[in-house]
Amino acid sequence: MTTSELPLVKALNAGLKKALADDAKVLLMGEDIGPLGGVFRVTEGLQAEFGDRRVFDTPLAESGIVGTAIGLAMRGYRPVCEIQFDGFIFPAFDQITSQLAKMTSRHEGLISMPVVIRVPYGGHIGAVEHHMESPEAYFAHTPGLRVVSPSTPNDAYWMIQEAIASNDPVMFFEPKSRYWHKGPVDFEASASPLHSSRVVRTGTEVTLVGHGAMVNVLLQAAELAASEGTSVEVIDLRSLSPIDYAPIIASVQKTGRVVVASEAPGFTSISSEIAATITERAFYSLEAPVLRVTAFDTPFPPAKLETVYLPDADRILEAVDRALAY
């Protein structure tokens, strides 16, 4: 079968399996990714198939994981690191931003860094502190890193392979709340370019922009808006650095109104960057200010408050109404 219904976690597993089979230089490394298959079972069965020299457990030391991956990349390998949870990435922050991101530039292009760092991120799983965060803006702000986030199983399958094939370091943010949601995966179709955004629902009155798990929330809001007679267009960013602005600007020129949404806090965020860029490039097409709907500018709260903290369809619709009121 060329197409199959898979949850996002299984689509990632299939993409990693294909990359391992296609290139003997691809290695998977991280905490508990071997026999256990990772906390979320993304790597389940891969060590049994490819051996413990290509899929292997590491010590509980994120800085050591990334530092080792840098050395492996310098020797011609393509390491894929798993950071077990989003909040655990910060011990590796120096290695990522000071070394991995700058190594190619420091050597005037003579050394490439084909390293992928997989990061399960975001909320809606009822977890404890440091297990539900959205730190993607830190890395999108860092020159030398590519930052992407799939929202569907099909994108997960293709984008992880494209990320591994890249000669630049890629931060691969996986929306963990979507891991178990199924969608079609076309194993034969040509992949969309890794750094391309995509219109996933067409509309004429308001443009909604988001990434990762937020795309599903935007689609829910668009459906509710349609039931009230409002036509909403939804754009999945897919790539956070670089951002493909062409579909976004084209949509703004059509609708004149934009709402940018994210699970991350709004201050100095990716949402802020998108709002500023739309204002610069499409000012005369705007009928209303670019509005942002984000998490609040506080640390992620206890799990029982996450539904208050994270944007939902109602908050998106409230912003749509405000945009239409101008």
Residue 131 annotated in active site = yes
Contact (Cβ atoms closer than 8 angstroms) between residue 66 and residue 117: yes
User: What residues have CB less than 8 Å from 131, skipping those under 6 apart?
Assistant: 85, 86, 87, 125
Contact (Cβ atoms closer than 8 angstroms) between residue 65 and residue 27: no
Distance between CA atoms of residues 115 and 169, nearest Å: 5
Of 74, 69, 150, 84, the closest CA to residue 115 belongs to: 69
295 φ/ψ angles, rounded to the nearest 5 degrees: -65, 165
Distance between CA atoms of residues 159 and 18, nearest Å: 12
| Active-site position among 107, 124, 131, 181 | 131
Of 58, 59, 60, 48, the closest CA to residue 20 belongs to: 48
Distance between CA atoms of residues 12 and 6, nearest Å: 10
Of 178, 224, 189, 252, the closest CA to residue 316 belongs to: 224
DSSP state of 87: G
Of 56, 57, 4, the closest CA to residue 26 belongs to: 56
Distance between CA atoms of residues 318 and 206, nearest Å: 12
Identify the sign of the CA torsion 285, 291, 293, 295. Answer: positive
Calculate the alpha carbon distances from 246 to 92, 200, 270, 279 in Å: 33, 14, 17, 14
Contact (Cβ atoms closer than 8 angstroms) between residue 274 and residue 136: no
- Strand, coil or helix: 297: coil
Distance between CA atoms of residues 134 and 23, nearest Å: 31
| Residues belonging to the active site | 131
